[in-house]
Amino acid sequence: MLPLGSEIIIATRNKGKMKEFEPMFLRQGIAVRSLLDYPDLPDIVEDGHTFAANALIKARAIALKFGVPVVADDSGLCVDRLGGAPGVYSARYAGEPSDDAANNRKLLAELAKLEDSSPSAEPARLSPARFVCAIALVDRAGHPVAEVEGSCDGVIIDKPRGEHGFGYDPLFYIPELGRTMAELTVNEKNELSHRAQALGKLWEALSK
């Protein structure tokens, strides 16, 4: 287990992700920095074909750069009716630069195309989907310490709902709760999100 009081870098510039990651590490007494602390650092090329591969690529690159333990995640939305898309391309589904609103519009447009081509198809709002998060923790030399994955199941709705969260959260509806991910508080999301599931597995792995 990482010793209490140690410091790690979370390999992300995403403020939304940091709001989810940081409290979980601080509760363990671990100081946290992110790539937001290094604005001049160039982007890391994530050319893996899976979430797990991309997480490890990012973690290794940052660990070798700064010589500290690094946690990196790669996460995204997988929609069954789109063959698992947008998948590893979730952040830039609508192209560069990454734009959450544009990605959401493209997702709904792609699902609408399926409805147009098959009138008997279920509406987009019933499309089964899952958020997936792969997390890699490496030591200061870039060697893997733990690799885990978590997921959260839901369905896609046809209009954004909610003011919280980021990414596809406003379209990701959780039937058991009757709310989208963007309608949950940070604490609620930290209890059930794909990232929360993966972090739970990470602590479990480090406790052995």
Binding residues for Mg(2+): 74
Instruction: Give the tokens for residue 120.
Output: 């008997």
Q: Exactly one of 37, 43, 47, 74 is catalytic; name it.
A: 74
How many Å apart are CA 36 and CA 16, to the nearest integer?
12
Q: Is 40 a catalytic residue?
A: no
Distance CA 107, CA 166 (A): 15
Angle (CA) 38-138-192 rounded to 5° is: 85
What residues are designated binding site for substrate?
A: 12-17, 75, 166-169, 189, 194-195
Looking at residue 83, the DSSP 8-state letter turns out to be T
Give dist(CA 122, CA 119) in Å, integer. Answer: 8
Cα 64–Cα 66–Cα 70 angle in degrees, nearest 5: 75
* Amino acid code (one letter) for 130: R
Which residues have a catalytic role annotated? 74
